[in-house]
Amino acid sequence: MFFKKLFNRTEKETPAEMLRRLKPELFDETGKTYNGGVFNNSSESYLLNKDEIELFPEIDKVFYTVTDFEENFFQPLCSFNFKIVNKTWTGNAHFVHFYKSQSDAIDANSLVNQYGNYNVTLFKSHGDRISFIGDKKAFQLTSDELEYWTKTRNNYQRNKQLQRSNPDNFFKHRQLNISTIIRQIGSIPMWVQSDETPNSIDKEEIFFVGQMNVNSLIDEGGWIFLFYCPQNQMLIQVDQWT
């Protein structure tokens, strides 16, 4: 009987199945909520639906304090509740588009933070909202860069208005859906350049939240890779371009 049971075992559990068995408290009744960053198979990721995400949220719903700096240099792309990734987390995840200067006049090395290189940007989480942490010198744009950023801002506003006026037609016209724009939720990043996973400081846990194709949404920009450190309540954003 023992050997019969042994050789009639079910197939090996997937990472998702194993997590549901070992950590059922992380899941809601639908079984869709899981701990971010634990899956090692990029095909296993949560698929957002339109009701779970807010595209083009107003800036005062994203930033804890809104000054001219936030107004001029940050474009909120989307927000969703952290519980989608991990049932134990509170607050919202935010994908924000911006452009740091690439000019030689900017000493990028002096603006590197403890989590990574110049492409890594930090935001402090205040529950539903965030605040930028870093040196504003990175946003001292040259005249050419400012011209590019002005074009980007115009594209952002145009697409924001189109999406707000007719959400269904916005996706139909672009032949897109939410899962095309925002991918790998709770899974692992699919880097478009080299691996830039943020450094872990003092052994705190850093979880991957998901990645976003900015260009597919506003016709400008590259990819955003979003990470979260629950201990420090830090959103860590990595930007890459193809």
At 168-221, the pLDDT tens digits run 888 888 787 888 889 988 888 999 999 999 988 888 889 999 999 999 999 889
What is the pLDDT at residue 124? 97
Q: Rounded CA gap, 166 and 169, in Å?
A: 5
**What integer pLDDT is reported at residue 204 of this predicted model?**
85
Tokens 């994908």 correspond to 95
100-106 LR contacts (CB < 8 Å, sep 24+):
100/138, 100/139, 101/138, 101/139, 101/140, 101/141, 101/142, 101/145, 102/145, 103/140, 103/141, 103/142, 103/145, 105/140, 105/142, 106/137, 106/138, 106/140
pLDDT of 21 > 70? The answer is: no
Separation between Cα atoms, residue 51 and residue 30, nearest integer Å: 15
Residue 29 DSSP SS3: coil
Structural contact between residues 92 and 26, judged by C-beta atoms closer than 8 angstroms: no
- What integer pLDDT is reported at residue 85 of this predicted model? 86
Which of 5-14, 21-30, 89-98, 176-185 holds the top average pLDDT? 89-98
Lowest-pLDDT choice from 52-66, 119-133, 201-215, 225-239: 201-215
Residue 28 pLDDT level (bands cut at 50, 70, 90): low
Query: What is the per-residue pLDDT for 40?
Result: 46
Average pLDDT over residues 109-119: 90
Read off the pLDDT of residues 138-179 as tens digits, 9 standing for 90 and up: 999 999 999 999 999 999 999 999 999 998 888 888 787 888
Q: How many helices (H) and strands (E) does the chain have?
A: 7, 9
Query: What pLDDT is stored for residue 128 in this prediction?
Result: 96
Q: Edge-to-edge strands of the sheet including 53-55?
A: 53-55, 75-81, 92-97
